[in-house]
Structure 1
Amino acid sequence: MTEITSASGSVQLTVHGKRMVAESMYAKGKAFLGAAILLRQKGGYEYVVLHLLCQGIEIVLKGLLLAVDYDKYKPKLKRFGHDLLKITDAATDAAGLSALRPSIRTEMESLNRLYSGHLLRYGSGYDILVDPRTIPSRQVLRRMAALLRLVERQGLIRVDAMCPSPA
């Protein structure tokens, strides 16, 4: 069981608690993806859009892994770090999905180099040498949208409790 340390001692998560953690993580990742889409639609700074997209992918897939088998994948999340390819491969295997098509994998590899190297988040010479609008991401975003639909249609993740409608 997972332990949470508090002022009064430690607490172990129940099966339901683990499920809630996985769903919360998935919902956070989905919100990052939504923020990326909205920012792109509003003409926001594309480096930030790409960072939000990658962060959303990372967190959605980690949440999915936790939903599939919390005890198996929780210890592995830190080892995956911010490596989108490792996380994608693990999630693809865990959910029994087909591997990424070569063109999507190439796009993911490009995003992964930038994201895991923190080039999307922090300023560097890269910012002035590469126009972020030339960095492909649309195939990866479409694949993520398809994954979200599939996961939610199959009931692997229940997000309604984590994402209430505005009053």
Structure 2
Amino acid sequence: MSNWAPHGKRLIALSMCEKGKSFIGAALLLRKQGGYEYVVLHLLCQGIEVLGKGYLLLQNYDEYEPQLRSIGHNLEKLLREVEQVSGINLRARGVQAEVTELNQLYSQHLLRYGSGMDVFIDPKTISSNRVLRRLAAVLRYADRTGALM
């Protein structure tokens, strides 16, 4: 359990949410500028991870802070927990298949570091458009409702 006062815990959680949104924004800008798609995908996944963990901390810092390590880089585990807490289906409309593929790559650090995958798999064949569209919709909703404030 953290020694932070409630206000400090809230500021830490909000900072994580902002960092997560910025990672996602960086992914979108890099994609728009024709950046290396493996880096785009990594930034997207990192943004989902940090934003999701920040959201959980906002909901109940003392409960979730000790659990973050066990969630690790597993986006599916994280999104299940966020869905349970928020009541929002984040993996609706065919998003699950993309989340599963991205999670397999991200959780094993295959998007971050070089490997034979870089030679044999064109990163543009790894779909993420549905994840991005769903994420954008959820963030617009969160802005309207103040869920991340």
**Class of the TM-score when normalised by the shorter of the 2 chains:** over 0.9
Which of the pair has more CA radius of gyration? 1
Percent of aligned pairs with the same amino acid: 52
Instruction: Please give the alpha-carbon distance, in whole angstroms, between the structure 2 residues aligned to 1:148 and 1:101.
Output: 15
Instruction: Please tell me whether the aligned partners of residues 24 and 43 of structure 2 are also in contact (alpha carbons under 8 angstroms).
Output: yes
What RMSD in Å do the two structures reach over aligned CA positions? 1.1
Aligned match of 2:84: 93
Aligned match of 2:146: 155
Note if 1:37 corresponds to 2:25.
Answer: no
Instruction: Please give the alpha-carbon distance, in whole angstroms, between the structure 2 residues aligned to 1:59 and 1:144.
Output: 13
Aligned match of 1:64: 55
Structure 2 counterpart SS, 1:33 = helix
Which shifted more, 104-113 or 140-149? 140-149
Instruction: Please give the alpha-carbon distance, in whole angstroms, between the structure 2 residues aligned to 1:142 and 1:34.
Output: 13
Shift of 1:155: 1.3
Q: Residue 142 of structure 1 aligns to which amino acid in structure 2?
A: R
State the Cα deviation string for residues 101-155 of structure 1 (Å, max 9, x = none).
2620111000000000111000000000000000000000111111211222211
Structure 2 counterpart SS, 1:82 = coil
Counterpart mapping for 1:132-143 below 5 A: 132-143=123-134
Q: Residue 83 of structure 1 aligns to which amino acid in structure 2?
A: N
Aligned match of 2:6: 15
TM-score, normalization: structure 1?
0.86
Q: Residue 118 of structure 1 aligns to which amino acid in structure 2?
A: H
TM-score, normalization: structure 2?
0.96
Instruction: Please tell me whether the aligned partners of residues 67 and 156 of structure 1 are also in contact (alpha carbons under 8 angstroms).
Output: no
Structure 2 counterpart SS, 1:142 = helix
Q: More helix per residue: 1 or 2?
A: 2
> What stretches of structure 2 of length at least 5 have no aligned partner?
none
Q: Structure 1 residues 60, 90: closer, same or farther in 2, change over 3 A? A: same
Instruction: Please tell me whether the aligned partners of residues 9 and 61 of structure 2 are also in contact (alpha carbons under 8 angstroms).
Output: yes
